[in-house]
Chain A
């Protein structure tokens, strides 16, 4: 790995001041360190944000759950408060990668990275999340741009993610047997006025499936989407699953999610 200077600021202001075109924020390091080692990316400055106290922790209010950016997957999985308010979110966190990835990986790192098969982006979309940065608040539907790309600007730091508490919700994943990333993952959330079916793993970036969401908004039963055929033209095709197989997995797992609610 190429050399760099390590910084460990104690507050957000210093962290953002240190950032430049050749720096990277370091959270759990589960993605960033391997990619630096493989030479996929090199940086002059690595800015560790884990010692900024404000960025970590879980807060529950009347209608939302707010998770600090550097909160680890293991903490979300075992949080009694989240288990009570949005059990599907704890379940999602507890199913990410393996125990050691969950002991280091963070919410902020996961959504900033925006891997097309990551789990958290689907939760953000389905739970109408608001991403709080050091500059602004961004609605999830405007946050994820494309594969490994978000609307975050250079030096912009995610501070927390605010998830809206739904009436009912469930996460279903068809995991890659090696990495546990989603070949297809469905986050289903039933809010007072709408149903959101967020899909990860199927396309180059997370999205809300409009047809499934509409059908389930009028009738919240798996029979409402039974046999639905989705357009697979924009779906990923690789050694794990063809586009058509992914399209069929989306419906199958959406049905499972409804049935589990």
Chain B
């Protein structure tokens, strides 16, 4: 057991966790933040992407104790004053999702892309999203959504 203190979506949480607790499990089961999805559970599909200190990572392959003292942002943390994040708005507007399973990871990953590159080309968007797999194969509209968000952010 280790006592961890992590800032999740702007709020500090302190909890005792078994050392082998995976971050995605901690977010979903201990904090009830079920917006972070788990697909492959072995760092391949990107459904579990969250931000740690502003950078996108796969929460299914990260230990909770490993990020003790850091800041985590999940899909739930994007809404400000009841308003969706421009990336969420863009996914909605451009039909960037079908079943929605991959969407939280796509959105978190795409936001990190725009932090690195303001106006990415289609190729750059596709290359960046290599780690995010969509079973509904909605990639065209996902790319269109990221472009739309880039024009608004």
Of B2, B18, B43, B129, which contacts A101 at CB under 8 A?
Answer: B43
> A98, B22: Cβ atoms under 8 Å?
no
> A104, B62: Cβ atoms under 8 Å?
yes
> A30, B61: Cβ atoms under 8 Å?
yes
Count of A-B residue pairs with CB < 8 Å = 81
Smallest Cβ distance from A49 to chain B, in angstroms?
A: 11
Smallest Cβ distance from B52 to chain A, in angstroms?
A: 9
> A34, B65: Cβ atoms under 8 Å?
no
Residues of B within 8 A of A103 (CB): 55-57
Residues of A within 8 A of B61 (CB): 29-30, 33-34, 104
Of B42, B58, B66, B129, which contacts A37 at CB under 8 A?
Answer: B42
> A97, B19: Cβ atoms under 8 Å?
no
Residues of A within 8 A of B56 (CB): 99-100, 103
Q: Does A48 contact B (CB under 8 A)?
A: yes
* Chain B residues touching A, range: 20 to 34
Residues of B within 8 A of A26 (CB): 63, 66
Residues of A within 8 A of B113 (CB): 99
> B19, A6: Cβ atoms under 8 Å?
yes
> A99, B58: Cβ atoms under 8 Å?
no
Residues of B within 8 A of A3 (CB): 18-20
Q: Does A221 contact B (CB under 8 A)?
A: no
Spell out A's residues near B (CB within 8 Å).
1-6, 8, 26, 29-30, 33-34, 36-38, 46, 48, 50, 97-101, 103-104, 178-180
Q: Which 6 A-B pairs have the closest CB atoms?
A: A98-B131, A6-B19, A34-B42, A98-B130, A33-B61, A6-B65
